[in-house]
Amino acid sequence: MQKQVAIPVRSSSDVQEPAPTKKGLIVWLVVIPFVGLHIMTLGVIWVGWSWVAVGTALAMFWIRMFAITGFYHRYLSHRSYKTSRWFQFAFAILGNAATQKGPLWWAAHHRHHHKNSDTDEDVHSPTKQGFFYSHVGWIFARKNAATRTTLVPDLTKFPELRFLDRFDVLVPILLGCAMFGLGVILEKVSPELGTSGMQMLIWGFFVSTVILAHSTFTINSLSHVFGRKRFVTGDTSRNNLLLAFLTLGEGWHNNHHHYATTVQQGFFWWEIDITYYGLWVLSKLGLIWNLKAVPERVLQTGRVPSRAAA
Ligand SMILES: [Zn+2]
Ligand SMILES: [Zn+2]
């Protein structure tokens, strides 16, 4: 058995279950920046649009969605493949750029969700706490503010991941600055593109980040409400093709709750899972390896009786 590494205490608030009543139930330091992100998208009224700005917003959406699904979720949360420490760090930076808090916080809360799905303990259950809370309200709750470090001892042993987790706004701020800088450069060298520093910042960071956040959050909210159940999982998880398109494969959420340790969420060839295709390419390039497939027995067991032949 692997030796347990002592987990350093990050700060006085970094404990498993902070008392929710001491400073109020809501963390305004999370609410205000999150609302601020949305308000900044209104900047499109003043900066207008250009093909390069909208294209960059789309590219930043897809790249960072892949980072969330392929790295934060399938790698850090579920360890469904292996990689080098350097790529682990690079992937964590890319995931951090999605502006959905740090890698340890994200993975720990997700592991908590799998352990307690649709029970009173679940951090985001639409059936237990309501749709709004499961979609976004839970990230504002003080009880979910700290990283549940006891759930990620395999990750807290890496100081570089602890650093990203502690200073989780650093990468998003750098990304925003990079977008602004790119816009300034493009305005100078290619004025025919019709963009500017502020336009690239608004589209490439703010608009893209807000759409990315709500798309990701649909897996915590809509994926437990709308769709079909193939497997009996003891929770309300569903398979939903539209959400699978939107989130590069995460919409096969009932499959995922049935067998979470695989690198695939689409279990059959017709279940589109773009994240898996991307990870397969990375494995062919030698950047990741030991991808955990879905065992045949997993496909055949635990079927919902009416869908036994599906
Ligand atoms: Zn779920
Ligand atoms: Zn999961």
Question: Nearest ligand to the C-alpha of residue 107?
Answer: 2
CA pseudo-torsion sign 257, 260, 266, 267: negative
Å from CA of 261 to ligand 2 middle: 8
Predicted confidence at residue 305, as pLDDT, reads 86
Å from CA of 256 to ligand 2 middle: 6
Predicted confidence at residue 307, as pLDDT, reads 57
Give pLDDT tens digits for 61-111: 999 999 999 999 999 999 999 999 999 999 999 999 999 999 999 999 999
Residue 20 pLDDT exceeds 50: no
Q: In degrees, to the nearest 5, what angle opens at C-alpha 271 toward C-alphas 268 and 274?
A: 115
Residue 17 pLDDT exceeds 80: no
Name residues with Cβ closer than 5 Å to ligand 1, which is an ion.
Answer: 237
Give pLDDT tens digits for 1-13: 344 444 333 333 3
Give the global pTM.
0.90
Å from CA of 309 to ligand 1 middle: 24
Ranges of each domain in the chain:
28-308
Å from CA of 236 to ligand 1 middle: 8
- Please tell me the distance from the alpha carbon of residue 103 to that of residue 61, in angstroms, as a whole number: 18
Residue 208 pLDDT exceeds 90: yes
Predicted confidence at residue 159, as pLDDT, reads 98
- Please tell me the distance from the alpha carbon of residue 279 to that of residue 287, in angstroms, as a whole number: 9
**Average pLDDT estimate for 240-258:** 97
Residue 97 CB-density burial (10 A; 0-12 exposed, 13-18 middle, 19+ buried): buried
**Average pLDDT estimate for 42-48:** 97
Å from CA of 209 to ligand 2 middle: 21
Predicted confidence at residue 23, as pLDDT, reads 62
Give pLDDT tens digits for 250-262: 999 999 999 999 9
Residue 206 pLDDT exceeds 90: yes
**Average pLDDT estimate for 234-255:** 96
Q: In degrees, to the nearest 5, what angle opens at C-alpha 245 toward C-alphas 239 and 250?
A: 50
Å from CA of 20 to ligand 1 middle: 24
Predicted confidence at residue 279, as pLDDT, reads 98
Structure tokens at 167: 């200073």
**Average pLDDT estimate for 173-178:** 98
Residue 308 pLDDT exceeds 80: no
Question: Nearest ligand to the C-alpha of residue 79?
Answer: 2
Å from CA of 67 to ligand 1 middle: 18
Structure tokens at 77: 């949360």
Query: Who has greater pLDDT, 45 or 305?
Result: 45
**Average pLDDT estimate for 279-297:** 97
Question: Nearest ligand to the C-alpha of residue 250?
Answer: 2
Residue 303 pLDDT exceeds 60: yes
Lowest-pLDDT range of 4-13, 202-211, 298-307: 4-13
Question: Nearest ligand to the C-alpha of residue 234?
Answer: 1
pLDDT over 70 for what percent of the chain? 91
Q: What sections of the chain are H helices per DSSP? A: 28-41, 44-47, 51-66, 85-96, 103-115, 126-129, 131-135, 153-156, 159-166, 170-189, 197-200, 208-217, 241-246, 253-258, 274-284, 296-300
